[in-house]
Amino acid sequence: MKLYGITGWKNAGKTGLMERLVAEFTARGHAVSTLKHAHHSFDVDHPGRDSHRHREAGAQQVLLSSGTRWALMSELRGAPEPPMEELLAKLAPVDLVLVEGWKRDSHPKVEAWRPEPGNPLIAPGDPTIRAVAAGGPVEVTDRPVFDLNDTAAIADFIAGEVGL
């Protein structure tokens, strides 16, 4: 599987770019999966539901299935968060996996950046960032710079990088 990341600071436009890239690559006929890193606690289950009750009772894993989708929830129960490679191994094969977050991992990335939050560019100090998708003028970078909303150009760049 080909792997490419979208990274950046909070409120930089990562999720919107991810959403547009998934739509763009699937429109081009590619099978795409995503991997999203959350820095906060999250839950895909709801209190009172049978699957939530199974987890609360102590189940390590709960697989929930219907005619529409299935989901496997794994409780870490104090164990360390699995590394990205271990999580990727759980995905079915696709043409491209787009990764949101994991800014310190070694996979190639496009940095989403907007001037409004006032955060500096990550790219100058990080060789894994191959390009910047900017929502405003970028003063200094030695990487290609794309308009944050030019999804087709960013997708072309990523496709060229991974050989799609």
CA 161 to the chain's CA centroid: 17
- CATH number of the domain that 32 lies in? 3.40.50.300
In a domain, 99, yes or no: yes
**Structural domain harbouring 113:** 2-42+81-162
Q: What pLDDT score was predicted for residue 10?
A: 92
In a domain, 20, yes or no: yes
In a domain, 69, yes or no: no
Q: What pLDDT score was predicted for residue 82?
A: 92
Q: What pLDDT score was predicted for residue 52?
A: 86
- Tens of pLDDT along the chain (164 residues)? 899 999 999 999 999 999 999 999 999 999 999 999 876 666 777 788 888 889 888 888 888 888 998 888 898 889 999 999 999 999 999 999 999 988 889 999 999 999 998 999 999 999 999 999 999 999 877 999 999 999 999 999 999 999 99
**How many structural domains are present in the chain?**
1
In a domain, 59, yes or no: no
- Report the DSSP beta bridge partners of residue 61: 74
In a domain, 64, yes or no: no
In a domain, 74, yes or no: no
In a domain, 66, yes or no: no
**pTM, rounded to two decimals:** 0.88
| Six token digits for residue 93 | 């094969």
Q: What pLDDT score was predicted for residue 29?
A: 98
In a domain, 48, yes or no: no
| Six token digits for residue 61 | 């894993």
